[in-house]
């Protein structure tokens, strides 16, 4: 039997916008690719913008597996790359930004991590260290 990685669905909060749910980003390369594709779109010359958007939307659709209930004058907008092209650009980018925000990087290792085995004590000591660092 294959090992299944833990996966979590997450809501994307959009002020005064639709309800969107995505697959959380669990791997750093997915996060970096998403950020790179957004950056490529923002840097694209006008003639290359649509191609950059299609690539970004295709990656988002494959990795985020979004679900939503959005309609326009033509009816339901499917959560596909072609459907995303029907969304207003600020809304589409807000959805992607919300998805990218689901990535939780692993905190940097601390001295406590090197000295104490995993467990509740180590977690509590690390919480205290992070609070002290934040102050």
The yes-or-no verdict on residue 127 having pLDDT over 90 is no
Q: How confident is the model at residue 109 (pLDDT cuts 50, 70, 90)?
A: confident
**Quick one: pLDDT at residue 132?**
80
Task: State residue 9 phi and psi, 5-degree precision.
Answer: -85, 145
Q: Cβ(96)–Cβ(34) under 8 Å?
A: yes
Region of residue 59 (phi > 0: left; psi between -120 and 50: alpha; otherwise: beta):
alpha
Q: Are 54 and 43 in contact (CB under 8 A)?
A: no
| 24-64 residue pLDDT tens | 998 999 999 999 999 999 999 999 999 999 999 999 999 99
Q: Is pLDDT of 122 > 90?
A: no
Distance CA 83, CA 72 (A): 11
- As a whole number, the mean pLDDT across the chain is 91
| Closest among 64, 68, 62 to 18, alpha carbons compared | 68
**Does pLDDT of 133 surpass 80?**
no
């Amino acid at each position: 039997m294959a090992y299944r990685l833990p996966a979590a669905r997450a809501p994307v909060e959009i002020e005064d916008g639709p309800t969107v749910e995505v697959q959380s980003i669990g791997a750093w390369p997915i996060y970096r690719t998403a950020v790179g594709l957004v950056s490529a779109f923002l840097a694209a010359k006008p003639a290359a913008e649509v191609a950059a958007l299609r690539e970004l939307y295709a990656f988002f659709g494959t990795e985020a597996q979004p679900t939503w209930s959005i309609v326009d004058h033509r009816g339901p907008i499917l959560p596909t790359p072609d459907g995303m092209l029907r969304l207003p650009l600020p809304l589409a980018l807000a959805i992607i930004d919300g998805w990218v925000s689901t990535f939780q990087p692993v905190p940097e290792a601390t001295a406590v991590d090197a000295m104490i085995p995993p467990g509740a004590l180590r977690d509590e000591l690390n919480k205290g260290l992070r609070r002290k660092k934040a102050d």
